[in-house]
Amino acid sequence: MFGLHTLAVMKPHYNVYAVGLGFLLGIVGGNFFIVTPFYGYAFLLGIGGLYILTHRKYLLLIFFLVGIFLALVRWYFFIEFSQQNNVRALVDKQQTFIVQVDAEPDQRTDKQLLTVKVKISAENKWQQGLVLVTTSLYPKYQYGDIIFLQGTLSEPAIFSDFNYQRYLARHGIYAVSYFPDMKFIKSEQSAYKTLLVFKNKFIRQVSSMLAEPEASFLNGLLWGAKKSMFAPVLEKFNLTGTTHVVALSGYNITILGLIIFFIMPWLGVGRKKAFWVTLGIICLFVLITGYPASVVRAAIMGIMVLIAYRWGGGVKPGILLIVSATIMCALNPFLLLWDVGFQLSFLATIGLVYLMPQIEKYFFWLTPKFGLRETVLATTSAIVMTTPLILYQFGRFSLVALPANILILFVIPLAMALGFLAVLISYIWFPLGQMIAWCAFALLHYVIFVTNVLSSHAYVTLSVSLSLATMLVIYIIFFIFIFYVNRKKTSSF
């Protein structure tokens, strides 16, 4: 009989999947109920009893239950910490604070959003946590600035179509303040602030070499600084289903890693040293970009692949996915259910890893020249896997997403490489850097031109909404199909 015991014996690495999937399921459950320590210990004793009574016959099930237990423990301590370190007790009161800017300011065209760390004595207890402050565009504040703030804190609103409270809670923010009185006191230095200084220098250097909107586009590709892009340009990317190109993602960080690997030999760095250099640069890159979920996921997966490559032995893509998801959800349990970017990133990766090989045979008629077949396959796989979630979350599907991605994706790596090279060389000899930047400008202008043309038609998007139940049924069918076609291909998992 092909049971749990048999499956565990045939494929021992399935125990990793069991722990990971159990952990993720426990994270889902933790969003709706918290298990007290008493029930947690009882659950753990039950796992131990099952292990002893079954004489280790059902290790896969036991590992799965261990994953659930670890998730419930993580939720308990996460909630305990958040309750002790938030400012919800201070809302709806006029307050005077000494705060410190705790993240890179989000500077818009007419205002700036500051994530500030608050520490204030209230009712003989220290209340500390994060507050999102909306203030005027000037004076501009920087990470590490200490500010005197006087105003009222409020709980984030919950709208009919958007839970702003839950959105901010992902980042540990439980209160907001709109246009309070603020006065700069001093600025504190730190290693992270130094990194942000370098990032802003790079952004200004790009802006000095390129015109808009191409300059903001390149800054978004390289450093994650897409907030400065003009809203009409971003909307055209939205309409054509190519926002992932502008948003910093695993695609961008993979290209960055390849660029570094190609550059290192030119600088006389061997392959072994290049591994450590690439590892360090990826970590710095994640810090500089503000560590969005998609970049952290790509960095974790990239580091695991580099480690596997460095010390030999292949790592199954499914292991990379489940381990990176488990690590990220352990760090922030809110990601799994409430971060759409995180969800889209993983679904797209699943499509590339598992769906793309299954549909390849249907695209034999496409030429492999210029990477056309691979681009179409990758784009189609990602679109198929992410469309149900997009329809559920946004109720909008781009009818030109496939041709748009086919027309622009192949130029993005070259545009990023030229842009990155232009910035580096411009600090050595600016005229040469400027010439390389003009080449990058031509490619970036082409991408913007394509999105302008494809988004100019009246019926670019289709309005379709899916219910939660329908979306879940579709994904269950997808995953059953993926498991069914790969069940005999041990190397696929």
What is the extent of the structural domain holding 171? 88-188
- Angle, helices 430-454 vs 191-209, to 10°: value is 80
Q: Are 227 and 285 in the same domain?
A: yes
Check whether residue 60 and residue 152 sit in a common domain: no
Token reading at 197? 């200084």
At residue 216, the pLDDT reads 85
Question: How far apart are alpha carbons 148 and 408 in whole angstroms?
Answer: 47
Residue 10 has pLDDT above 50, yes or no: no
Q: SS3 of 272, please?
A: helix
Q: What percent of the chain has pLDDT over 90?
A: 5
Question: Given this model, what pLDDT does residue 3 score?
Answer: 39
User: In terms of domains, do 95 and 146 share one?
Assistant: yes
Q: What is the number of domains present in the chain?
A: 3
The letter for the amino acid at 8 is: A
CATH of the domain at 148: 2.40.50
pLDDT of residue 261: 63
Domain closes at, from 188, 207, 228: 188
Chain centroid, CA 251 distance in Å: 11
Q: Are residues 291 and 323 in the same domain?
A: yes
Q: What are the tens digits of pLDDT across the range 32-81? A: 777 766 666 677 777 666 666 666 667 777 788 888 888 888 888 777 77
Structure confidence at residue 9 as a pLDDT band (50, 70, 90) = very low
Helix or strand holding residue 151 (H, E): strand 145-152
What pLDDT is stored for residue 315 in this prediction?
59
Residues 53 and 93 grouped into a single domain: no
Q: Is the dihedral of CA 211, 216, 218, 219 positive or negative?
A: positive
Read off the pLDDT of residues 211-224 as tens digits, 9 standing for 90 and up: 888 888 888 877 77
Q: Which of 188, 207, 222 finishes a domain?
A: 188
Say yes or no: 162 and 235 in one domain: no
Q: Which are the contacts of 6, defined by CB distance < 8 A and separation ≥ 6? A: none
- As given in the structure block, the two tokens for residue 424 are 């580096």
What are the DSSP calls for 156-214, one per residue?
PPB-SS-BHHHHHHTTTEEEEEES-EEEEEEE---HHHHHHHHHHHHHHHHHHHS-TTH
Which tens digits make up the pLDDT trace of 94-118? 778 788 888 888 877 788 899 888 8
Whether residues 328 and 448 fall in one domain: yes
Q: Compute CA distances 312 → 12, 13, 266, 270, 273, whole Å.
A: 19, 17, 25, 17, 16
Across 14-23, 309-318, 337-346, least confident range? 309-318
Same domain, 122 and 45: no
Q: Tell me, yes or no, whether 211 and 159 share the same domain.
A: no
Pair 80, 97 in one domain: no
Mean pLDDT (whole number) for 277-290: 76
Tens digit of pLDDT for each residue in 450-462?
988 888 877 788 7
Q: pLDDT tens across 145-204, in order? A: 888 888 888 888 877 667 787 788 777 788 888 898 988 888 888 877 888 888 888 888
pLDDT digits (tens, 9 = 90+) for 300-312: 766 766 665 555 5
Higher pLDDT, 134 or 255: 134
Please name which of 377, 374, 321, 382 lies closest in space to residue 351, comparing C-alpha atoms: 382
Do 324 and 433 fall within a single domain? yes
Whether the full predicted model's pTM is greater than 0.85, yes or no, is: no
**């971060």: which residue's tokens?**
339
Q: Do 163 and 121 have their domain in common?
A: yes
Where a domain ends, among 84, 99, 116? 84
Q: What gap in Å lies between CA 114 and CA 131, rounded to an integer?
A: 8
